[in-house]
Chains A and B, each alone.
Chain A
Amino acid sequence: MAHVSNSVKVDIWSDIACPWCYIGKRRFETAAADFAAAGGELEVEYHSFELSPDTPVDFEGSEVDFLVSHKRLAPEQVEQMLAQMTQLATTEGLSYDFDALQHTNTVRAHELLHLAKAKGRQLDLVERLFAAYFEEGRHIGRVDDLADLAAEIGLDRDEAVEALTSGTYRADVDADKDQAVAYGISGVPFFVIDGRLGVSGAQEPSVFTDVLREAAGLTAATS
């Protein structure tokens, strides 16, 4: 196999309101560290995907309430799912708090991620938003709350308010969603490697490592 380049581009479709996306992020980061240690260079870019675009920004109720009312799941089933998810997150070093979580619409969070990308701070904001949503019970749907989170990573708060109020990056969110459709992406997280390999779901780190190394020509193809 020819060794052309050890640089790999990874485009990640995810939603902040996606527990597997945060877990998948951790697993991918483990693989990314291994990849870097092996001499690989990685460029990562996040893209917008809305799991529940019909969710109101000011949804009143718990995560259990949302899944019961909007997805018609039994309360006992939802509570069991969330307990299992919380336990799984713990194994990745994450402290999910579904009791404190404030379910909301994420489109403005995605818009803010595009602003952060324009400022070269997207990866910092992705991490900040995930932690705020799943671990800290912060609201990630309202302009003021999002602007606070933007300021916490060093972005200009007023610029964030302006961008979110005017919808500056709404078209970029829509473009990401259109690209997801073009790729056939129906669930997240979803990882696109160098625009040609697709990896679906919160894979184990070893899977990401193998795919990254193969894409970079650091190992022979597995098939």
Chain B
Amino acid sequence: MSGPLEIVGEPDAPSCADGVCEVPAADEQASPAGPPPVRS
């Protein structure tokens, strides 16, 4: 496995890094499926 990756999908999807995890604001949780995938 090598070579650069083409990054796809929603750019703001939550993740964890350096031991800390992003948590969306309460109003964001209330929204339904979210926006369609966006290429970056």
CB within 8 Å of B: which residues of A? 11, 15, 18-21, 24, 51-52, 55, 67, 70-71, 73, 81, 84-85, 87-88, 179, 182-184, 186-190, 192, 195-204, 206-208, 210-211, 222-223
Contacts and interface: CB of A to CB of B under 8 A. Distances in A.
Contacts of B16: 15, 18-21, 51, 187-188
B9 to A, nearest CB: 4
Contact of B13 (A67, A179, A197, A202): A202
A201 B34 CA distance: 14
B7 A200 contact: yes
Contacts of B18: 51-52, 71
Interface of B: 1-3, 5-24, 26, 29, 33-34, 36-37, 39
A198 B18 CA distance: 19
A186 B20 CA distance: 12
Nearest to A186: B17
Contacts of A21: 16
A20 B7 contact: no
A196 B5 contact: yes
Contact of A197 (B5, B15, B29, B33): B5
A192 B5 contact: yes
A223 B39 contact: yes
A51 B7 CA distance: 21
A199 B15 CA distance: 11
A73 B20 contact: yes
A85 B23 contact: yes
B8 A197 contact: yes
Nearest to B26: A84
Contacts of B33: 204, 206
A182 B29 CA distance: 33
Which has the most chain B C-beta neighbours within 10 Å: A73, A187, A196, A223?
A187
